[in-house]
A and B are shown apart, each in its own frame.
Chain A
Amino acid sequence: MNEDGAVMIVNDEIAVLMECRAFIYKLFQCLSGMEPTPELLSALRHDDTRVALDLLCGDRAEYSDIYTELCAAAETHEGELIGEYTRHFIGPRSLVAPPWESVYRSDEHLLFDKNTLKVREIYKDNGYIPEGYPSVADDHLALELDFMRLLAERLLLAYEAADRDSVYDLYDHTVKFLNEHLLVWVPEYSRRLQGHGVFYPLAALLLCEVLKADKTLLELMRGVF
């Protein structure tokens, strides 16, 4: 990262990429945090969503096919998606891939463990708390993605304002959270989902693509701030 004290030059292209990041995290936050509504599915299939994904994931070979397949599944199986969401995120049967980080981070496979507290502390350090606190586990996929969305939005604002300190700070938090949390468990979460449904396994695969692409993008950004 450029730390020579020079005034930050705001680059339009980078701002667009930041905007895409915030949007895509919001999209996945909604996909993993609520029953699929017609509006949510239409956001998923929207041309602008494809554009945003292309901008972020263009270097990755498989994302496009996964996205196309995901959109097709959303259309073909629209009537089944609430049921599939319920099976994967709500219950009452045990979830094949519980969407909480703590389940993947320790042998205990519990909710509300020390890892949950760590995630909560990170949120708090950044000024956030889950809407359902303290009754919901903080490290739910949707909440972690919402955290990434919030950081992405703030990063964009700081960048647009050429607020160098905030940009550095937000960038650090973003990279750290992505590498130390989402990228640690979401691939295994996705692996466990495969073969169990028509939509959410694809959504998880696409999310993995997005997270990996974002990691690359963030690493590259380091040199241009």
Chain B
Amino acid sequence: MKQFLERVKTTRRGFLKTSAAMACLEISGCSNILHKLTDKPAHVQDERWVSAACWHNCGSRCLNKVLVADGVVVRQKTDDIYPDTKEMPQIRGCLKGRSQRKQVFAEDRLKYPMVRKNWKPGGGGDKSLRGRDEWVRISWDEVLDIIASELKRVKSKYGNRSIMINDSLDNEYKRTLAAFGGFVDVWTSSSYGSWLMTPTLCGYAPVAGMDTANDRTDYENCDTIILVGSNVAWTSFGQAGNTLMQAKLSGTEFIGIDPVFNETYAMLDAEWIPIRPATDIAFMLGIAHTLLVEDDPDKNPLIDWEFLKKNTIGFDAAGMPEGTNKRDNFRDYVLGTYDNCPKDAHWASEICGAGEEQIRKIARKMGVKNKTAFLMSWGVGRNNNVDNLPQLCMTLGAMTGQTGKSGHMTGTCCHIHAANHGPALVKHGSTKLAPLTNPITDVVNEPDHADALCGKPFRDTGAPMLYKWKPCEMRQADIRFMLYGKRSRMQTQLGILKSIDVMRHNVDCIVAPVQFLTNNAYYADIVLPVTTQWEVPGGFLSSSRDILLVYSKVIEPLYEARSDRWIAEEIAKRLGYNDLFPLSDEQMFFNGLAGSTVITADGSGYEPLCTITEEDIERWGVSGTPQKGRIALDELIEHGIYKVPRTQGDPYGFIAFEKFREDPEKYPVKYSESGKFEIYCKELARRVTLMGYSSIEPIPTYIPPLNGYEHTFSDWKNKIKGEYPYQMVTMHYMKRVHSTMDNVKQLGEAFHNPVLISSADAGREDIRTGNTVLISSSVGKTLRTALVTERVMPGCVVMYHGSWTDIDENTGIDYGGSDNILCPAVSTGQGVAGYNSNIVNIKKFSDKPLRPDADKPLRLVGM
């Protein structure tokens, strides 16, 4: 102490009180301080479990519960409300859902509105600095004023067609800008690929192929389940896998047709038939041919001739519709009657790589006498030039009669319809917020959006996703203002490098309301912190048809995060629209609850789900009417889930096309002009062809995919490989949901995100597990650590979808393992983005593994 006291000797007491230094600190007025508790009381609640949203676009959606202590989430758990039974399984979360806390409270959450330092209103300043610039914190008031002023400027100078929104189908910003006179919208074939439009025209199904297969109680009635490109164990985690496992336990045989022996096939001990990416149509035509040549109605019945005759058109010459050339029928195409090319197992095998006998075996398994399910994921539709694939799937179902009966099905198996089809048995009500229509009709297909941004002509074909199709009209727009939402399209869509390049030369103002610095935000001018679904009053998540998830607010918005609705409303006010959002968030949530319905006990209709009392309405501070329902409002909120009680043989089962099979005249299918399965679908061919990307036939035919197997050869005839000798598959990964949660380190520690290569190819390329490899395509290069495996078909490499880019600006090499760096921004047919039809090369980059993603600092590039 002495030395301290010695030094003080010459210093007078209180010298700092009057010092200018202290005065300067006082003037600085830092607000990052503590207050007296008496001035700002804390509202502490006891620890409580809250039903918390797991809101991402995965194929499941499960029950997430969090233990909240004074606004901090200290634990998570999942469905433990009712016992786990075969008929009513618990809806348990996966490792992503259980890591939700790590996303919401991540250190890299965007906390404040920020503007790029060298961005300038009125033109954008130096656009080349996007993604490289410094950022400046700005207040909400300032940033909202800037956004409104930019919108007014570009509207008055260039018109509403200079404004573009690239985000989900419906968001709050679209409402604001629709009121403002409209905006250019963006659509995408997205996850669906050709399952987007084809089923809706050939008589098969609504968008996405929903309701093409049976309810989950029926899978164990199948003798054989054939899965094509389906990995529900990862992509529809939980109930779907459980349903298939129950079938397995009851004796169902499983076969997986896929370039990869995936986790689902492993779980189900499925026989694996390796097949090259994007060649499913050839494989299926080989099945059709086998059926035709081996069928003998008496001795070896394989084909359901009665169904074909009664329920389809275009299968054979006799079934061709009026006014068409009879020779254009499907049967003669398959047999090669007129083109001298039988689409037999030999022909198919050369293209798809599956053995001839394997193709024939599948055909026999599907024969009319067997109880078989043939189920495809959307992934096989996410290929170029496979527009007829859903139609061919339907055709095989029709040929073999594996449709319309218990234990028989031919359809889709993915997302929330994985191993569970049929109308929802419980559903939430509407918010009752009246929709606003966008007065501007331009809609850009996502792969064309980079071209549109730099003023090049784009195909305007309407929005097929919303059943709003129109013939292609080439349009041009001078986009000056762009709003990217939370969907991180610049990461999850094709041609990332092209998008970055375009953004560095075009558009005056790019705004990104986001939670994290996704690519859309990384290259934007203005970033706005948006709340997660844990920070809003509540909402619904639809999943399996027999459950409804209801989530509640967990915490107050973190830092300066605001909801999309609040931001959109504030922008609207600054544009002169004060009443655009007349209902409070609480009222909209309440309306959804009050309007929720559940199937009646006898399955004949729907009745209100919630009992709501006067006290509830008063406590919520909303307007509404008391009602009687199945479950008290508070109980539903507390449980966070409603499950329709299910038993085997209950009246809620669903057999796809059951009535249509019985009487197609009385119960025609909704989605075709004829009311029948259109194996010859003129309207499909017409519409696809009129979209201007490429043309197709009215019947399912094999069109070599753009960037498909054939393109891996420089000389197809002599089988000499070309510059990009491998086909690339992009699988959804258990680490993340598309690109969401890729920044959660713990998930990265569990899932290392390698590139998968077959041992045969690895041997040839001198690649070993643990080597760093460079995967390159005509448009990009990325690095990954190799995992050599027998689980991948030779000739293919597997990249996991959604990894965030980490681009070295000097070399252009992506260190993040981003799949879409490698995919060119091209479309075919109905505007399909071909995520699984791409060709690449793979070469050893280093003997050492790449620095693991989990060990890398979060988005630091450019520091």
Contacts and interface: CB of A to CB of B under 8 A. Distances in A.
B contact face: mostly helix, strand, loop, or mixed: loop
A8 interface: no
Contact of B1 (A47, A52, A91, A223): A223
A48 B21 contact: yes
Interface string B29-68: 0111111111011100000000000000000000000000
A98 B111 CA distance: 13
A42 interface: yes
A29 B860 contact: no
Given A93-B860, A133-B42, A111 B32 contact: no
Nearest to A117: B72
Interface in B63-110: 69-74, 101-102, 105-110
Interface stretch (A62-70, A135-143, A174-182): A135-143
A83 B108 CA distance: 18
Interface in A1-57: 11-17, 19-20, 22-23, 26-27, 29-30, 32-35, 37, 39-40, 42-43, 46-49, 51-52, 54-55
A33 B108 contact: no
A72 interface: no
Contacts of A100: 107
Given A19-B13, A224-B1, A91 B35 contact: no
Given A46-B21, A92-B527, A142-B33, A19 B15 contact: yes
A40 B25 contact: yes
Interface stretch (A122-130, A164-172, A199-207): A122-130
A124 B42 contact: yes
B541 to A, nearest CB: 23
Contacts of B110: 91-92
B34 A220 contact: no
How many of chain B's residues touch chain A, expressed as a range? Answer: 35 or more
A14 B101 CA distance: 47
A94 B72 contact: no
Contact of A112 (B17, B72, B857): B72
**Residue among B9, B12, B111, B112 having the largest count of chain A Cβ atoms under 10 Å:** B111
A220 B114 contact: no
A83 B25 contact: no
A44 B17 CA distance: 15
**Residue among A46, A59, A123 having the largest count of chain B Cβ atoms under 10 Å:** A46
A15 B4 CA distance: 12
B135 A92 contact: yes
A110 B101 contact: yes
**Residue among A43, A54, A96 having the largest count of chain B Cβ atoms under 10 Å:** A43
Interface stretch (B338-346, B372-380, B554-562, B697-705): B554-562
A42 B19 CA distance: 12
A23 B22 contact: yes
A113 B779 CA distance: 43
Given A128-B35, A133-B40, A116 B7 contact: no
B148 interface: no
B267 interface: no
B720 interface: no
A37 B28 CA distance: 7
B646 interface: no
B860 A55 contact: no
B8 interface: yes
Nearest to A217: B4
A120 B107 CA distance: 18
A22 B16 CA distance: 10
A14 B71 CA distance: 41
A129 B1 contact: no
A135 B8 contact: no
A52 B102 CA distance: 42
Nearest to B103: A110
A112 B73 contact: yes
A55 B112 contact: no
B21 A49 contact: yes
A91 B135 contact: yes
Given A55-B4, A112-B105, A117-B72, A142 B37 contact: no
B584 to A, nearest CB: 20
Contacts, number: 238
Contacts of A117: 69-70, 72, 74
Contacts of B746: 108
A183 interface: no
A223 B2 CA distance: 11
Nearest to A141: B32
Nearest to A10: B13
B111 A128 contact: no
A11 to B, nearest CB: 8
B70 A131 contact: no
A43 B8 CA distance: 20
A13 B21 contact: no
Interface string A82-93: 110011001111
A99 to B, nearest CB: 10
B136 interface: yes
B24 interface: yes
Contact of A14 (B5, B69, B861): B5
Contact of B33 (A134, A135, A146): A146
A185 interface: no
A22 B107 CA distance: 29
Given A54-B7, A93-B863, A111-B105, A142 B32 contact: yes
B3 interface: yes
Interface string A195-225: 0100000000000000000000100110110
A95 interface: yes
Contacts of B114: 86, 90-92
Contacts of A16: 8, 11-13, 15
A77 interface: no
B858 interface: yes
Contact of B16 (A23, A109, A133): A23
Contacts of B117: 83
A120 B70 contact: yes
A111 B532 CA distance: 15
A39 B29 CA distance: 10
Given A19-B17, A92-B110, A109-B107, A131 B1 contact: no
A33 B32 CA distance: 5
Contact of A46 (B20, B74, B111, B527): B20
Contacts of A116: 72
B137 interface: yes
B297 interface: no
Interface string B130-144: 000011110000000
Contact of A34 (B32, B35, B108, B136): B32
B862 interface: yes
B8 A13 contact: yes
Contacts of A124: 37, 42
A35 B15 contact: no
A43 B24 contact: yes
Contacts of A27: 21, 25
Contact of B35 (A23, A129, A221): A129
B109 to A, nearest CB: 7
A213 B7 CA distance: 14
Given A13-B5, A43-B20, A111-B105, 13 more contacts: A16-B12, A19-B13, A29-B32, A34-B32, A35-B137, A58-B7, A83-B134, A113-B72, A117-B72, A127-B38, A128-B35, A133-B42, A146-B32
Nearest 9 Cβ contacts at the A-B interface:
A33-B32, A94-B858, A46-B21, A43-B24, A220-B1, A13-B8, A128-B34, A134-B71, A142-B32
16 contacts: A46-B19, A47-B21, A48-B16, A48-B21, A48-B22, A51-B15, A55-B4, A55-B7, A58-B4, A86-B114, A86-B137, A117-B74, A127-B36, A135-B560, A220-B4, A221-B1
Interface of A: 11-17, 19-20, 22-23, 26-27, 29-30, 32-35, 37, 39-40, 42-43, 46-49, 51-52, 54-55, 58-59, 82-83, 86-87, 90-96, 98, 100, 103, 108-114, 116-117, 120, 123-124, 127-136, 140, 142-143, 146-147, 150, 196, 217, 220-221, 223-224
